Amino acid sequence: MAYGIVELLSVQAHNNDAMNYTFVSTDDIENGSIVTMGTRVTSNEDEFNAVKPTTATLADQFYMIASPIRVLTTLGDDSQFVDLTMNPKAFYNVAGQTMDGVALKLHDRVRLSEDAIAGTKSSNTYIVATDGTYQLTWGAAAISGLSLKLLGTSYFTIADGFGSQRVTAYDFIVEAVA
């Protein structure tokens, strides 16, 4: 299974530590997904529960999950190894472990792999926050809430053991945040 890949092209969070947060979730979450901030995790005051967007939170601040790619491989005996493969298409944030999130602000630019976006592109030119899903979803127009406008098609080049492959990606700009 291929998972979402994200590249933060130009985001205000790069220069502002107050816009970078650590989240923990009870769900596995792909990079490029969005969450809202829940309560503090009781064991660590610097971590927050990642909350799946709902109709009630579509006007809240959104955070894009963008953790460094560290593929975790779990064997049958529950032993775990990190980075046996460096393929970002095999990476997702494991439930119960920390993940990085950046606050999305107006005019931030991001690149998302095709697998990171729900729905079908067809003639749609926006991706929007949707009730009940972590993934942004293709839409025909901006909504009241988080909306990113398509700037163009791009690619990620993924090195594997036998060469490289191109993965379709799209560049977006944040047009609306609430």
**Domain annotation covers residue 136:** yes
**What is the tens place of the pLDDT at every residue in 25-49?**
999 999 999 999 999 997 777 899 9
pLDDT for residue 83 is more than 60: no
Is residue 98 domain-resident?
yes
Q: Say how many domains are in the chain.
A: 1
Q: Judge whether 166 and 106 are in contact, CB under 8 Å.
A: no
Neighbouring C-beta atoms of residue 14, cutoff 10 Å: 13
pLDDT at 68 over 70: yes
In a domain, 35, yes or no: yes
% the chain with pLDDT above 70: 87
Task: Identify whether 1 is part of a domain.
Answer: no
In terms of DSSP bridges, do strands 44-51 and 20-24 run parallel, antiparallel, or are they unpaired?
A: parallel
Task: Over range 50-78, report the average pLDDT.
Answer: 82
Give the pLDDT confidence of 98-143 residue by residue, as tens digits.
999 999 999 999 999 999 999 999 999 999 999 999 999 999 999 8
Q: Is the pLDDT of residue 1 over 70?
A: no
- The structure's pTM equals 0.87
Question: For residue range 20-31, what is the model confidence (pLDDT) as tens digits?
Answer: 999 999 999 999
Residue 128: which domain range? Answer: 6-176
Number of C-beta neighbours around residue 134 at 10 A: 23
Cβ atoms within 10 Å of 83's Cβ, excluding its own:
11
Question: In whole angstroms, what is the distance from residue 40 CA to residue 49 CA?
Answer: 6
